[in-house]
Amino acid sequence: KLLAKTMDIDFSRIQFTPDLMPSDILGTSIFNVKSNEFEYKKGPIFSNLILIDEINRAPAKTQAALFEVMAERQITMDGTEYKMTPPFLVFATQNPIEQEGTYRLPEAQLDRFLFKINVDYPNLEDEIQILVENHERQNQFDFNSVKPILNASQIIAFQELVKQVLVESNLLSYIAAIVHNTRTNANLYLGASPRASLAILNAAKANAAINGRDFVTPDDIKRCTKAILKHRLVLTPEREMEAFTVDKVVDQILETIEIPR
């Protein structure tokens, strides 16, 4: 909500529950008695920044409602396509501990998320800072005092600028080699898809731009790779029993493949 406020774009929060239906997300057609026609009432997915809370609480049918909109930035309802207003970004949370009453996300759904980021506990110094600021603020936060520093048109312009960041052909081969290794790796039951290759490319471009460069380096690629691959790879049963992790496999892959010069 705060992020959307600073960017002056629309924000929508959707709480996933076991009884949530696709129409609760996408919207539904309602018969208008006056016009004697069906009217499409848009759902909460029609926003710029979407937060889906506890995405694994909803069944597969509801999760599948996000497939088209996350991949193609549109939804199809009653044969009509409705485009999302850019910029469009979906965040989702899931509880890694409490798994009762949850539904595992299918690989096709996971593949549509750019990153998976594990949010761990804060360290001691950060937690002290949280307490100090909360005490001084007396648990009050005025969102109206937050001033936007960007707007939608500026974000779109920056996105177009990032697409123009230079990537040498040997770095494209480097990305392809990383992803291809996941498909032949003996530690993995499921490797990454071509969507992962594109995600690494785009994330590396963005990382270069954030650091003030108009060209990608191998470090940009390595910095993004783990967060992009960790939710796309599945360990073999033998490796899972040995308490092996996907992060370790990705580290091994990055150490194995020669870095372009």
Do 205 and 100 sit in the same domain of this protein? no
Of 95, 119, 143, which one is at a domain's C-terminal end? 119
Domain count, the chain: 2
Look at residue 30 and tell me if it is in a domain. yes
Give pLDDT, residue 243. 83
Locus of tokens 């008695």: 33
Instruction: State the average pLDDT over residues 148-166.
Output: 95
Give pLDDT, residue 253. 95
Do 85 and 177 sit in the same domain of this protein? no
Q: How confident is the model at residue 43 (pLDDT cuts 50, 70, 90)?
A: very high
Do 30 and 115 sit in the same domain of this protein? yes
Look at residue 13 and tell me if it is in a domain. yes
Look at residue 128 and tell me if it is in a domain. no
Do 173 and 226 sit in the same domain of this protein? yes
Do 172 and 251 sit in the same domain of this protein? yes
Residue 99 pLDDT more than 80? no
Residue 260 pLDDT more than 80? yes
Do 31 and 115 sit in the same domain of this protein? yes
Do 100 and 174 sit in the same domain of this protein? no
Do 109 and 170 sit in the same domain of this protein? no
Residue 98 pLDDT more than 80? no
Look at residue 135 and tell me if it is in a domain. no
Do 187 and 241 sit in the same domain of this protein? yes
Give pLDDT, residue 40. 87
Tens digit of each residue's pLDDT (9 = 90 or more) over 208-240: 999 999 999 999 999 999 999 999 999 999 988
Do 113 and 217 sit in the same domain of this protein? no
Of 93, 119, 145, which one is at a domain's C-terminal end? 119
Tens digit of each residue's pLDDT (9 = 90 or more) over 83-95: 999 999 999 998 7
Domain coverage including residue 44: 2-119
Q: What is the CATH number of the domain that holds 238?
A: 1.10.8.80
Tens digit of each residue's pLDDT (9 = 90 or more) over 2-16: 999 999 999 999 999
Look at residue 185 and tell me if it is in a domain. yes
